[in-house]
Amino acid sequence: MLEPDRLLHERYQLQHRLSENQVRQTWLAKDLQAPPDSDDRVVLKLLPFGGEVQWEHLKLFEREAHILQQLQHPRIPRYRDYFHIDDRSLWFALVQEYIPANSLKQWQENGKRFDERDVRRIARELLDILIYLHHLNPPVLHRDLKPSNLLVDDSWQVYLVDFGAVQDKSAIEGSTFTVVGTYGYAPMEQFGGRTVPASDLYALGATLIHLLSGIAPADLPQADLRFQFRDRISASEGLICWLEKMTEPSVERRFASAREAKEALDAPPRALATVPQQAIANTSGQGGIFDPNVPVPEEILGWNWGAFLMANWWPLTNRVWFGLLSWMPFPFGSIVNVLLGYKGNEWAWKSRRWRSIEQFKSHQRGWTIAGIFFAIPWYVLMWMILWWLLEEL
């Protein structure tokens, strides 16, 4: 049981708890071995292993510690130590430099109202941090940028904290991934397991909109997956256009890098208001599902849970008639189910004309939701009935 004044690792004395969630605890502690002329306060992140904490949580925790060891930036709290405690239960601990500052979330809760000048200053400082992270080899992606993970001290210096969702791009594409990020701040491609530097830019844009409007991104109205915030903030047309480009649903329509985003932010207002939008060709419905000559947008590729779970019905609205073979008896029908999950997005894009990528994504999300609420309970019920029948025999 963790409590104030407890000594950990014969060095760190707990002071008080800073935060807690269902996975880990964060404490302010005193480093009893700190040099006399230095700040002896540190932050301890503690992860209990077992129960609700699974191997995936531990893997993310160890990845955070490993990457923090490699980072050297004045606006990222420095790594200090990593150890484990075996006391009835197993605890893993990450020690970091303590930054005496409030998070942007705390500033908001304390009544602070952010204007355009504040937001531009915060944006520039964070973009400098992202330029550093994204230019490392391999690039480091934060993946959970939001007000609670951004600290601002009394001198208005901004710090980026909580690298618990961090990812380096050395990970092999196509390997198993963990869905991380916060709804409203994380872009759609991140929930599909495809995170790129522009994903952090989206989260930064959503955070800045939150600061200006006082409304969490998840609570803002949307049109074609774009935040509708113009009538909810007081800002120049140039900054509004910049924020709209930062939070474009399509990766290709955002700024290509943090450096490009910073240069656009510092450009004259007229240049900001006319940031060009890169046109994306709509190649949907131009050929058969097996035609290799039809280009498919990279951002829609990936596993299609709606096609996999609702294989008997999904082909009807997506016009992938090959999928009706899923009605065949086992095992042939099951093989088609798997093929639809693996290739469904590509086949649906080729076989039917879609108004936009956003419409396509929205349609597939609808099928995924239907699969979760109808198909999965149906499969569970069938297996329970089958099990009961086998028990009766």
Q: CA nearest 204: which of 137, 314, 126, 279?
A: 126
Active site residue 144: yes
Report the C-alpha gap between 235 and 221 in whole angstroms. 18
| Residue 285 contacts residue 346 (beta carbons within 8 Å) | no
Closest CA to 46 of 35, 55, 57: 57
SS3 252: helix
Whether 46 contacts 24, CB under 8 Å: yes
Q: How many CA atoms lie within 13 A of 286 on its CB side?
A: 10
CA distances from residue 327 to 279, 312, 381 in whole angstroms, order as listed: 40, 6, 19
Helix or strand or coil: residue 160?
A: strand
| Long-range interactions of 55-61: CB distance < 8 A, separation 24+ | 56/178, 57/23, 57/24, 58/92, 59/178, 60/164, 60/165, 60/178, 60/180, 61/24, 61/92, 61/94, 61/164
Residue length, the chain? 393
Residue 265 neighbours by CB under 8 Å, 6+ apart: 120, 123, 124, 127, 239, 242, 272
Structure tokens at 281: 């060709």
Phi, psi at 254, each rounded to 5°: -85, 175
Q: 102: part of which helix (H) or strand (E)?
A: strand 102-103
End-to-end CA distance of the chain: 50
Of the listed 31, 118, 144, 162, which one is catalytic?
144
Q: Which residues are catalytic?
A: 144
